[in-house]
């Protein structure tokens, strides 16, 4: 499944296309305290296996994929419960280190897991949850038609960027860069400055 996009990379894409390219295409990774803490929390939160409590069967670290969308990855947790008609409902749950942010990157990642589960099982998946360690809250994410369409578009964009062989420009919003572990490799301000200087020289040459 070499051409399949890791679902986790959709989170990076929605946060910043340049970050996605650096990580997925160029293999860049900076392990700082925030990244390490997130990794350790994930390891503590779920080990592969299953358990039952009442009518709810909980699967941990579930491998999911979509042949149609060409994405693959792990869902942290998938809860399997019956509805009032006895039909199986699956609820994907993703664990995140901090608090819910201003962007949809976590929602896109979770929705992609849901799309994979729908394709593989045909089960009803109306919603999922994201548990944020920072707030100790479980946020509900409803998989609306709009979110599903946005997720599919994000997947298409990710495949386009992976094939483009050209790194996207840095973000204009440097607030995101401040919290990014890849800022030392990305050099957004320096890249913007060099780009502006090159544009000035081109205009003067004309």
Asked if residues 96 and 106 have their Cβ atoms less than 8 Å apart, the reply is yes
Torsion of CA 190, 194, 200, 205, to 10 degrees: 170
Q: What angle do CA 137, 138, 142 make, to 5 degrees?
A: 140
- What does each C-alpha distance from 53 to 4, 17, 56, 89, 138 come to in angstroms? 34, 41, 5, 15, 18
Mean residue pLDDT across the chain: 86
5-170 fold: Lambda Exonuclease; Chain A (3.90.320)
Q: Which residues contact 53 (CB under 8 A, 6 or more apart)?
A: none
Residues in the chain: 206
Using alpha carbons, select from 194, 171, 193 the residue that is nearest to residue 183.
Answer: 171
Q: Percentage of the chain with pLDDT > 70?
A: 90
Asked if residues 168 and 23 have their Cβ atoms less than 8 Å apart, the reply is no
The residues spanned by each domain of the chain are 5-170
- CA separation for the pair 155, 42 (Å, rounded): 24
Q: What is the pTM of this model?
A: 0.82
pLDDT digits (tens, 9 = 90+) for 174-195: 888 887 888 888 988 888 888 7
pLDDT digits (tens, 9 = 90+) for 55-112: 899 999 999 999 999 999 999 999 999 888 888 899 999 999 877 777 789 999 999 9
């Amino acid at each position: 499944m070499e051409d399949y996009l890791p679902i986790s990379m959709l989170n990076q894409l929605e946060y910043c296309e340049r970050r996605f390219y650096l990580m997925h295409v160029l293999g860049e990774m900076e392990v700082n305290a925030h990244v390490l803490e997130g990794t350790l929390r994930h390891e503590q939160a779920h080990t592969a296996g299953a358990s039952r409590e009442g009518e709810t069967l909980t699967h941990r670290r579930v491998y999911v994929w979509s042949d149609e969308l060409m994405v693959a990855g792990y869902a942290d947790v998938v809860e399997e419960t019956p509805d009032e008609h006895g039909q199986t409902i699956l609820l994907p749950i993703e664990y995140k280190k901090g608090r819910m942010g201003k962007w949809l990157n976590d929602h896109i990642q979770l929705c992609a897991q849901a799309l994979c589960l729908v394709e593989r099982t045909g089960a009803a998946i109306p919603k999922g949850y994201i548990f944020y360690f920072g707030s100790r809250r479980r946020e509900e994410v409803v998989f609306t038609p709009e979110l599903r369409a946005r997720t599919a578009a994000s997947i298409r964009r990710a495949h386009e960027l992976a094939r483009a062989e050209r790194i996207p420009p840095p973000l204009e919003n440097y607030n995101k860069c401040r919290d990014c572990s890849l800022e030392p490799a990305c050099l957004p301000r320096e890249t913007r400055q060099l780009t502006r200087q090159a544009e000035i020289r081109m205009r003067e040459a004309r």
